Amino acid sequence: MKNIVLLASGSGTNAENIIQYFADNELARVTAIYTNNPKAGVIDRARKHAIPCFQVTEAEMEDGSFIEKLQAKNTQLIVLAGFLKKIPLALIEAYPDRIVNIHPALLPDYGGKGMYGKHVHQAVVENEEEVSGITIHYVSEEYDEGEIIFQEEVEIDFEDTWQDVEYKVRQLEYKHYPEVIEYILKDL
């Protein structure tokens, strides 16, 4: 059984979807969730599924103590599910090609610092794009610049609001993120 640790900062809908996907999976399970936000909705979702949830500080991520916690949990894969802090180089080096993120756009477009959630969808609509989608990628030193693992697109209608685009993109996230995580785990 392989161990997945989730990092999340917000409501935790992707985290919950991943927890449910792996609940009866013989390959892997979610063993813990870490959040940098003490008011994050993901805390309640973790509690609902009896997944331990801990707060992680920026200092812990920088000083190496977080790496020790992950190693103590025998973590094979770290999955970002709406985690809004930059991952330090030491953690990337400790888990090479084993930290995965999902971005709500087709990278390299609409990526980088500050481009998350509704900010991405608003920019897509303002620029009158005809498609958007998701990108699942490995985490690197720079926001949204890691090696792309998977992309899927969705058409945008000219009358779509950013909320409509967000809904369409979330459906792609819920369908594909757990499947891609499972695919990655099979090779670890």
Q: Hey, which residues are catalytic here?
A: 103
Distance CA 163, CA 108 (A): 22
- Tell me if 37 sits within 8 A of 9, measured CB to CB: yes
Q: What angle do CA 32, 38, 43 make, to 5 degrees?
A: 40
CA distances from 157 to 59, 107, 126, 134 (A): 44, 20, 13, 17
Residue with tokens 């399970």: 29
Distance CA 41, CA 12 (A): 6
